[in-house]
Structure 1
Amino acid sequence: MTAESGDTSDAGTGPGGPGTEPGVGEDAYATMDLALRVGELMLAGGDTAEAADLAMARLGRAYGLPHPETNVTLAAVGLSYLPRGGRPPVTAERRVRRRQPNYTRLAAIHDLVRDAAAGGLSLQQAKYGLGDIIGRRPAYPGWAQAGALSLLGAAGAVLVGGGFVAACAAFLATLVGDRTGAWLGRRGIADFFQMAVAAAIGTLVTVLLLAVDAPVRSGTVIVGVVIALIPGRALVVAMQDGIAGDLVTGTTRLVEVLFLITAILSGIGAVTYVAARQGVPISLQNLPSAPSSVAAPQTLGAAAIAAAFAVYHLVPRRWLPPVALGGMLSWGAYVELRALDLPSAPATFLAATLVGALGATAARLRRVPALILVTPCVAPLMPGTLMYRGMIQLTGGNAGRGGLILLESLATALAIGAGVYIGGELLRVVRPARRMLRPRRRVGV
């Protein structure tokens, strides 16, 4: 028996109708509906499959669902239970049709699940509480989210050595690209083409600055735009799902991320190729790069990136100052590690691991999901410079060198997600947290 997203009816009734045996009545179906809605909202809001799995199972046990079993993928959440009295199992499913990150909602849902599992909420109170969470206004208005993404692009330009003019150009390019992508999205255009157009617009601004010989490091503009566009949240969650053993969900997320990165590279490559053919002086010299030491403008830029990322993903306002500090920490650690001649990927991994461990500790103490505190803090580590360098090499005819740089950028991106997850796991070694128990896999069978 199946109930898809948007259906609030029971998943079905066992033989004899509802209420004829313990664990078969309306309360069981109401519990299933609550757990499925929670799982759907968690996945749609940007949480991991492991967290959704655990939350659904805890709700099932809290309200007496007999032998609950959960099934979580990126596209749907499923729940089944085995009624007493020899009745056949009951199964229901909800589709995850729209995914829009909302970390404020995630924090509220985690609180709801924790209170319900502790016995502090009746089933009816939990249902009303979930309805209240869904009906709340977003933490920030739409214009603030659009402005935050544009600010992220501007701060990214500053991060790699751009000045005021470059920051303004990156802000405008990101804003125009984002609004254009939103306009295309309302007309049913796929995310891949939305991302490609946004990257192309940012590259076009860079090309125009080069064409008019503007007194600005034009490469910093496109790097800022790329940092704003890279799907960092999805990347972190994909690696977490994969390492945690949710291979289907993790692989699906990772493939989605790779397609979006391909779209970004396609937009950059198309514009730079046409510009080079038209004689625009796109040079491999003086391309933007990370400073060799921690500098005030770049450190403040990292803080602005983390805070803007948090606003764009609707992180509660009280967490913006800690997130900004975390962005500064991740960037400072990365720069110092690079100064020790570490390659980009290992330096990024170690910096992300440090932030992951500290962020998970703070999240455990304040009883909030670790994603809320950790994911924005690693946004300054996104490999925008490497992506731009790789595409310039490719359009300049050096395919071998360009390919290697793009592979390095991909390895760096994956290192962010792996480092964040491993940082959180280090905390579990010191102080284990309650989590879903998974059976040990036997090797060689």
Structure 2
Amino acid sequence: MNIGTLARDKDYLLEAVLFAGKLLLENGAETSRVEDTMERMIHHAIGDSRPASDYTYVTVNGIFVKLNSGGSQFQRIDKRQYDLNKIFGINQISRDFAAGRVSLQDMRHRLFAIDKDVCKLKLWHKFICTACLSGSIILLFGGSFVDVPAAIFAGLVAYFMHSWLTRALHAPFLPEYGAALLGGVAGYIGFTYRGVHLDLIMMGAVAPLVPCIAITNAIRDMMARHYISGMIVAIEALFTASALGAGIASASYLFLR
């Protein structure tokens, strides 16, 4: 489908492409995926007549889009979270648009609907998932079933404290440090009550907070030759892991000195 000559259609395309990229970045997609999705949308809308001077450029904190038919725009990205459901929904919209199953206007409306959609994950879902992750770490590393309750308790404390501190502090790395510190304290309390391997319990405490998606995105971006974005995300993941380690070390210092 080629867009018409109306200026409104060109503005719609630029707005929709930029908004789709913004949603993908804000919800945890790697920059290579964001750029590829935007390029596919533009190619389908303009077709083979697309000028070579048109381009998209995506970094961790910003998106550039230039279209000779509709001008150029920049979108700053200030917040990021991880919502794989939204990423899946945006990718599906992109596929439907490329296949001609939805119009440009319909794609815009569906993107706005995804943006307004709020994660409906219930509290008990988070409770169960966190408990399974923290408890399974003990068994994966050869620990005892006796340590599982303490690890689950510590993991739950760390996870929910991280959620609260993220909303309260609005600062990078401090929520990770505070949550790991309190999770470590909870892990030590569980260890003194009934535990065998303190080191594994501490691992279970921080397991829900390890930046696994960020590490994966960094590797994928560097493999796709997005070296700047990949290195930025890798450094951020390194600082996050360091904050977690510092929190656990602080908790250990309080009780083991």
Q: Point out the structure with the larger helix share.
A: 2
Q: Could you tell me which amino acid in structure 1 is paired with residue 256 of structure 2? A: A
Q: Map of 1:222-237 to 2, 5 A cutoff?
A: 222-237=202-217
Deviation at 1:162, TM superposition (A): 3.2
Give SS of 1:98's match. Answer: coil
**Corresponding pairs, count:** 250
Q: Could you tell me which amino acid in structure 2 is paired with residue 148 of structure 1? A: C
Q: Residues 51-86 of structure 1, C-alpha deviation per residue, up to 9 Å, x if partnerless?
A: 110111111122228433101011111211113xxx
Q: Does 2:196 align with 1:208?
A: no
Corresponding residue to 1:274 among 242, 254, 257: 254
Deviation at 1:23, TM superposition (A): 5.3
Separation in 1, partners of 2:152, 2:10: 52
Give SS of 1:32's match. Answer: helix
Q: Map of 1:315-330 to 2, 5 A cutoff?
A: none
Give me the CA root mean square deviation: 2.3
The structure with the largest alpha-carbon Rg is 1
Q: Could you tell me which amino acid in structure 2 is paired with residue 265 of structure 1? A: G
Q: Does 2:110 align with 1:98?
A: no
Counterpart for residue 263 of structure 1: 243
Give the structure-1-normalised TM-score: 0.52
Deviation at 1:217, TM superposition (A): 2.4
Deviation at 1:203, TM superposition (A): 2.2
Counterpart for residue 158 of structure 1: 139
Counterpart for residue 29 of structure 1: 11
Q: Does 2:102 align with 1:116?
A: no
Give SS of 1:100's match. Answer: coil
Separation in 2, partners of 1:140, 1:213: 32
Give the structure-2-normalised TM-score: 0.87
Q: Residues 247-273 of structure 1, C-alpha deviation per residue, up to 9 Å, x if partnerless?
A: 111111011001001101111222223
Contact 2:155 2:207 (C-alpha < 8 Å) held by counterparts: no
Deviation at 1:187, TM superposition (A): 2.0
My pick for the range that moved more, 221-230 or 241-250, is 221-230
Counterpart for residue 73 of structure 1: 59
Q: Could you tell me which amino acid in structure 2 is paired with residue 39 of structure 1? A: G
Corresponding residue to 1:51 among 29, 33, 49: 33
Give SS of 1:101's match. Answer: coil
Counterpart for residue 110 of structure 2: 129
Give SS of 2:56's match. Answer: strand
Which consecutive unaligned segments of at least 5 residues does structure 1 have? 1-21, 84-88, 278-445
User: Which structure would you say has the larger RCO, counting Cα contacts within 8 Å and 6 or more residues apart?
Assistant: 2
Contact 1:166 1:221 (C-alpha < 8 Å) held by counterparts: yes
Give SS of 2:46's match. Answer: coil
